[in-house]
A = this chain, B = another copy of it.
């Protein structure tokens, strides 16, 4: 389901850009590159400063613009943990997943539960909705923080 391990992300992006009649530029490739190397959920600002260290001439606005393109191209996912700014995670090589977030240390791990997915479908159907997607974030204490709290 939605696993695209077949084609390199660069190709997907390239095709997307071409299909839209846009142009491939070095900045766009560099940003995608840095983005793909970073696992996890990063804010535009984090991505910007990482990009900046390698390619100092790239501007902040370009990072925001490319992030939007990546989202449109289906390579990035915009997530929101409700802490003020958005974060992006790359979808490339990642199947759909939800999040288990530690409220103490902030670490987030990716989870899936097929049974829950099915029940969501059924729940939506019960209200006559045609489900298109969902966002599920579970908040709690991770094992490590749980341990610390005991002391």
Contact with B along A76-88 (1 / 0, CB 8 A): 0010101000100
Copies of this chain present = 2
- A127 to B, closest residue via Cβ: B100
Contact with B along A98-137 (1 / 0, CB 8 A): 0010110000010101011001100110011111111111
Q: Does A143 contact B (CB under 8 A)?
A: yes
Q: Does A138 contact B (CB under 8 A)?
A: yes
Residue of B123, B129, B143 touching A102 (CB-CB under 8 A): B129
**Once the chains are docked, how many angstroms separate the CA of A128 from the CA of B107?**
13
Chain A: how many interface residues by the 8 Å CB criterion? 34
- A132 to B, closest residue via Cβ: B140
- A111 to B, closest residue via Cβ: B123
Question: 8 Å CB contacts to B: which residues of A54-82?
Answer: 78, 80, 82
Whether B115 contacts A140 by the Cβ 8 Å rule is no
Task: Given the known inter-chain contacts A113-B119, A123-B113, please indicate yes or no for A138 contacting B146, CB distance below 8 A.
Answer: no
**Once the chains are docked, how many angstroms separate the CA of A129 from the CA of B100?**
8
Whether A134 contacts B131 by the Cβ 8 Å rule is no
Whether B116 contacts A130 by the Cβ 8 Å rule is no
Q: Does A36 contact B (CB under 8 A)?
A: no
Complex interface: chain B residues within 8 A of A132 (CB): 103, 139-141
Instruction: Report, nearest first, the 5 A-B pairs whose CB atoms are least far apart.
Output: A128-B143, A131-B140, A129-B140, A136-B136, A80-B82
